Chains A and B, each alone.
Chain A
Amino acid sequence: MASQLELITFLSMVSVFVVSAMLVKLPVSLSLVSASVVGALVGGTGFPIRHFVEGTFGYLDTVLVIATAMIFMKSIQHSGLLSTMANQIIRSFRNQPLFLLIVLTFFAMFPGMITGSSTVAVLTAGAIVAPVLINIGIPRNTTGAIIALAGILGMIAPPVNIPAMIIGGGVDMPYIGFSLPLILATLPLAVLFSLGLGYKHLGKIELNKIELPKSHYEDCGLTLYIPFIVLIVLLVVEQGFTGIVPSLGMPLIFIISASTALVFGKKFEVWKTARRAVDEALPIIGILAGVGIFIQIMTLTGVRGFVVSGLTGLPSGLLFLSIGISMPIFGAVSAYGSASILGVPFMLALLGTTDQILAASALSLIAGLGDLMPPTALAGLFAAQVVEQENYFKIVKYCILPGIITIGYGVFLILSPW
């Protein structure tokens, strides 16, 4: 069989990963590296040092965003801003819990909408929303699921949807006319998921019966909010005035915003906080480096071609099944990677059969689910950190049904006659 070597290589890589991670209990990052080394040997490419190192650069930008976003989150946590905002939101909206839930969901989506990154959404607005939701009675894991899903839907919602841009770029489709389809693809799901997961836990908020997060407003005043305001202003300026104002880049924006927390708010130990933030981000940074090597070796040995050509060359009924299953799974690498590697060939396969903009929007929605897919599961993993849950699978568990609904809705949008 023509593809026998690629199949054997693929199975070797998966087997070594599973054995290393589950039996030998190596960290996921080192398990991915072990699988890549074996894949390269089995695939007949020897020990390609240059490719191992080059693969680690695949997600360098993402790694920097994650590390600096974590430093920002820890800084506003220690400066007292997180607990103060939670306290004030609960007090202000105590009589309208349902309204509060929906508004907070949209608020948690916002950073994703303007940056196109679910990680940024979860680690910024998600970190503010989480203590509020927990305090109004929504269980910790459900709260994690709500902010993870809001982060992903924010990443897909307009105006900035990078997976859609990547898919469009692959078929020469300009990123024009996407706003309405993307609103249609995301907002109904955002409302559905936040109510579906949170509504049953809502009751009347009795301030004297709950332990409110501590407010530091009395001590620090309005200046406490400056780090968050600086972040929002820099993000909006970055996206709203592209081409006019030079881009600072997300890592620098987070570092500038975090630095202001040193001045405005409770005093904290900066090095200890930054070190702890990076320390907490290290496992996922390691996984991203490992995933980069894994993909590089998959591509080098032809395993990627084996997988992609197998998935995209299916008859139409199976094609939709393949879209629904393979895009989120491949998104475990990254939603952007899924949009590029699979989204573009799927889009090419759909050309002429459906509305292109709607199809690209729907494919980006399905690709976005990759941010919930282990081993990376960026949105789930950071949501777990935000709600202080050590096992992120407990968060991801609550996202399974919404994930299935999202896939079904995405396929429906592709098939719809509009």
Chain B
Amino acid sequence: MKFKGTKYSAIGLLSLSLLLSFFAGRSFLEMRNPKPIFAGPDVKEVKHLSDYAPVLAGTPEDPRVYVMEGEQKGGTVFILGGTHPNEPAGFLSAVTIVENATLERGRLIVIPRANPSGFTHTQPLEGSPQFFSVKTPKGTRSFRFGSRRTNPIHQWPDPNVYVNKEGQKLAGFEIRNLNRSYPGDKRGYLTEKLAYGIMELIRKEKPQISFDLHESSPEYPVTNAIVAHEKSMELATMAKLNLDLLDIDMKLESSPANLRGISHREWGERTTTNPILLETPNPSQGRLRGETTADLIVEGKDKYYLSAANKGLLFTDYTEKGLPLELRVAQHLQTVEEILSVFSSSNPEKAVSFKKIPDLSKLNEKGLGPFLTGIN
């Protein structure tokens, strides 16, 4: 039997393609609607990054900036989540802070969705779900699971090779990766403009500490890790000791001096801030994962990761319990709290301290849902 194409088969296939494209297009467009983030009690102002870098005004890369203030004066801390929208614990940790935390002293500047364009699409060939949900006492709350890179609808085409502002040579698609684009460029590609905007915020607000919240594959050596620039190393070391006492496994990694374009390196080189990048293990972004579902994002249970753990191939503990999202968020929040605590005790005049933050004990007790009670 041999298939022979005719005019009618061509019309049929073309019509079918158009029909499929229509339904797929509707699905793609659903991701353009941002899910709300509800400003908590200590959010005094909601700005946009373009307030610091006007070049971003009117572009798809103008994230919201939440400014929180405590009762007493103190220092300033910057928290960046959602650099990579396929690393949900980084994004949700920032959301949890904005919606729940109250401050005793100091200011907190939080960007939960650092790369808004990355939240508007998923990465082809990765089979990722577009959304995942967290159960809360008031119902189910849905969030977008995006891509590591800026949407090509907003920045395209990629060059073959991307040489960033610091001369680092990278595969071309990395030109849409915010965490390879620092220190950014006011006149560069959209993602470079975004990186420039974040640098401008740090330069103008002069935070004493800046966090970039990430996740990584469980098979990647830099996971369960605090990555610190030389300037932040002492602070990170002290915090790590405190985390050890709480039985939270966070390794200490120094920011490689020859790997340029990454937040923990460029923020440290070009601003006065002490940069810290956090990584928790996320099975839904790894290459060894099985079926790619929304449950995998939330529960972190995967049989292939269990098998890899049994073979000693992972850089994190992994059991049948998986690596649930609430545990990963708790790890981020507790680490932030410990680092701020160490900093505040040695710099009382610049202290930033929480009155209330959903840390490890609270998240262990109640889960993540009660802290995400806004329903969209």
Contacts and interface: CB of A to CB of B under 8 A. Distances in A.
Contact of A292 (B124, B158, B256, B292): B124
Contacts of B161: 116, 160, 162, 165, 239, 242
Contact of A299 (B27, B126, B168, B220): B126
Contacts of A170: 220
A173 to B, nearest CB: 8
Interface string A175-204: 110000000000000000000000000000
Nearest to B216: A172
A66 to B, nearest CB: 14
Contact of A61 (B25, B158, B291): B158
Interface string A308-327: 11001100000000000000
A337 B125 contact: yes
Interface string B165-177: 1011111101000
Contacts of A99: none
Contacts of A313: 307-308, 311, 313
A344 B221 CA distance: 12
B82 to A, nearest CB: 20
Interface stretch (A20-28, A136-144, A220-228): A20-28
A210 interface: no
Interface in B27-48: 27-28
A247 B130 CA distance: 31
Given A250-B160, A297-B127, A24 B3 contact: yes
A117 interface: yes
Interface in A18-56: 23-27, 30, 43, 49-55
Interface residues of A, number: 67
A306 interface: yes
B24 A296 contact: no
Nearest to A116: B160
A345 B219 contact: yes
A303 B163 CA distance: 35
Interface stretch (B51-59, B199-207, B282-290): B282-290
Nearest to B177: A169
A300 B122 CA distance: 13
A296 B157 CA distance: 22
Contacts of B361: none
Nearest to B162: A242
B24 A344 contact: no
A43 B127 CA distance: 13
Nearest to B288: A309
Interface in A155-172: 160, 162, 165-166, 169-172
B172 A175 contact: no
A306 to B, nearest CB: 7
Given A24-B3, A308-B287, A309-B308, A348 B221 contact: yes
A349 B130 CA distance: 31
Given A24-B3, A25-B3, A345 B287 contact: yes
Contacts of A26: 3
From A54, A238, A247, A336, name the one whose CB has the most chain B CB atoms within 10 angstroms. A54
Interface string B14-31: 000000110111011000
Contacts of B303: 2-3
B221 A351 contact: yes
B52 to A, nearest CB: 24
A175 B258 CA distance: 10
A162 B163 CA distance: 13
Contacts of B259: 172, 174
Interface string A352-392: 00000000000000000000000000000000000000000
From B20, B23, B163, B304, name the one whose CB has the most chain A CB atoms within 10 angstroms. B304
A27 B292 CA distance: 29
A249 B28 CA distance: 25
20 contacts: A2-B303, A50-B24, A50-B28, A52-B20, A52-B24, A162-B160, A169-B170, A174-B168, A174-B169, A174-B258, A174-B260, A239-B160, A242-B161, A297-B127, A300-B291, A305-B289, A305-B302, A312-B288, A337-B125, A345-B287
Nearest first, the 3 closest Cβ-Cβ pairs linking A and B are: A300-B127, A302-B290, A53-B24
Given A52-B20, A174-B256, A251-B157, 18 more contacts: A6-B290, A49-B23, A51-B127, A174-B258, A174-B260, A249-B157, A292-B125, A299-B127, A302-B290, A302-B291, A305-B290, A305-B291, A305-B304, A308-B287, A309-B288, A309-B307, A313-B313, A344-B287
